[in-house]
């Protein structure tokens, strides 16, 4: 056990350290965006690991009002800003084969969640349902959904650290595998009795909605912060007045449901379409700030629990892969579309286009839209999975 000797408990010190980590991580990501290391260790890792290391070394405290404040107030704001960038009109343009592939990929993740829970239930202990529901949200959406459902289920920070690192490890191992087998897609398609006609039906020449305003101005920044934190505060106020319906439906669960629904509603407004690029920039910065605060509450000694989570993730991905192949054969879905839908779920907006481009460059806009769809629904699926597993265990 690492003995904690904290150098400074001052909230300002803690806040500035976290801010420095986030700014440094974003600067690093920009400077080395084309480097191979960024493909396997994306920006969220550089925001999460340094604060965890600083806490382990005793430079940051493991508990601080700053961490709680960021989690409770910044996370709802970031969710609203990121979800208001959802391209609802773009989703309507996606072809039926693409949506079928996404539905199959998402369904296989949900089935895999139940399967690994039943297989590893005795090893996971009392937080088992929280672990699986949090990972479900991550693998259908992304990091922001993982953090949202982690808070909604009240998963402990010590459990979250090895889970987060296992998630990153397995997802990017899977991504590498998908890119490697892209050279064999014709053989796989022949095995599944899929022809080029199926691929042509899956393609769509439409990308995500483009913001009409590119440059970030101070007025735009202040307006977005007011929207994010103002509506986030309203959801917090309302969430605190809704009834607690057991362990899986606490106050923060209600808050996540409210901000998710409100963010998706905002995405249909003209203002959201004008400011989607700026809202995305601000939203991701706030997301990385939440991630840094979450990392600071953990300790690297928690990695001792990583093997069980790695085993869960690899078994889960195996179930996902088997069901995807079956779906491809039954519904005649090309392997390129299956791989794109899979990475849109597991990897999200950042990596889905990379996988899509290795199969068929025209699939890149489809990958973006499917990943955005995953972000939009992941919070709901994660929370519902938690409720289901709770009832499954009695």
Distance CA 2, CA 58 (A): 9
DSSP notation for 265-304: HHTTSHHHHHSHHHHHHHHHHHHHHHHHHHHHT--GGGGG
Inter-axis angle of helices 143-153 and 251-266, to 10 degrees?
150
Residue 5 lies in a domain: no
Tally of structural domains, the chain? 1
Contact 288, 43 (CB under 8 A): yes
pLDDT score of 180: 81
Let me know if 331 is exposed, middle or buried by CB neighbors in 10 A (0-12, 13-18, 19+): middle
Q: How far is CA 227 from the centre of its chain?
A: 22
Residue 28 lies in a domain: yes
| Span 278-335, pLDDT tens digits | 888 898 899 889 888 888 887 777 667 788 999 999 999 999 999 999 999 898 888 9
pLDDT score of 39: 66
Residue 3 lies in a domain: no
Q: What's the N-to-C CA distance of the chain in angstroms?
A: 35
pLDDT score of 264: 86
Q: How far is CA 224 from the centre of its chain?
A: 22
Distance CA 217, CA 207 (A): 25
Residue 6 lies in a domain: no
Residue 97 lies in a domain: yes
Q: How far is CA 275 from the centre of its chain?
A: 22
Question: Which parts of the chain register pLDDT below 70?
Answer: 1-8, 39-40, 90-94, 196-216, 246-248, 302-303, 394
Distance CA 149, CA 164 (A): 13
Distance CA 47, CA 293 (A): 9
The torsion region of residue 95 among left (phi > 0), alpha (psi -120 to 50) and beta comes to: beta
List the domain range (segments joined by +) for residue 161: 11-392
pLDDT score of 208: 46
Residue 32 lies in a domain: yes
pLDDT score of 207: 46
Residue 325 lies in a domain: yes
Residue 1 lies in a domain: no
Beta strands in 30-115 (DSSP E): none
Structure tokens belonging to residue 355: 């996988």
pLDDT score of 203: 59
């Amino acid at each position: 056990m690492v003995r904690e000797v904290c150098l400074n408990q001052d909230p300002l010190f803690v806040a500035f350290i976290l801010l420095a980590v986030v700014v440094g991580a974003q600067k690093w990501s920009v400077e080395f965006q084309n480097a191979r290391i960024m493909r396997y260790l994306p920006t969220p890792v550089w925001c999460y690991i340094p604060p965890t290391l600083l806490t382990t070394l005793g430079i940051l405290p493991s508990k601080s009002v700053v961490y709680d404040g960021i989690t409770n107030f910044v996370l709802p704001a970031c969710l609203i800003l990121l979800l208001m960038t959802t391209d609802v009109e773009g989703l309507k343009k996606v072809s039926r084969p693409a949506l079928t592939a996404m539905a199959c990929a998402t369904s296989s993740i949900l089935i895999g969640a139940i399967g690994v829970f039943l297989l590893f239930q005795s090893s996971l202990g009392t937080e088992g349902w929280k672990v699986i529901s949090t990972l479900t949200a991550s693998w259908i959406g992304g990091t922001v959904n993982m953090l949202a459902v982690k808070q909604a289920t009240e998963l402990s920070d010590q459990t979250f650290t090895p889970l987060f690192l296992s998630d990153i490890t397995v997802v990017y191992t899977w991504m590498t595998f998908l890119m490697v087998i892209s050279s064999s897609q014709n053989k796989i398609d022949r095995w599944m009795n899929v022809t080029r006609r199926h691929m042509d039906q899956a393609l769509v020449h439409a990308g995500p909605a483009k913001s009409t305003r590119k440059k970030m101005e101070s007025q735009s920044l202040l307006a977005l912060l007011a929207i994010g934190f103002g509506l986030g505060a309203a959801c917090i106020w309302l969430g605190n007045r809704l009834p607690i319906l057991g362990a899986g439906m606490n106050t923060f669960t209600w808050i996540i449901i409210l901000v998710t629904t409100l963010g998706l509603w905002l995405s249909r407004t003209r203002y959201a379409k004008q400011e989607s690029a700026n809202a995305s920039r601000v939203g991701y910065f706030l997301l990385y700030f939440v991630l840094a605060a979450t990392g600071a509450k953990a300790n690297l000694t928690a990695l001792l629990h990583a093997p069980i989570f790695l085993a869960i993730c690899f078994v889960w991905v195996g179930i996902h892969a088997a069901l995807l192949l079956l779906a491809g054969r039954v519904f005649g879905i090309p392997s390129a579309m299956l791989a794109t839908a899979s990475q849109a779920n597991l990897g999200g907006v950042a990596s889905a286009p990379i996988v899509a481009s290795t199969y068929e460059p025209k699939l890149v806009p489809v990958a973006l839209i499917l990943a955005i769809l995953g972000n939009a629904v992941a919070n709901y699926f994660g929370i519902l999975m938690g409720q289901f597993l709770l009832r499954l265990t009695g």
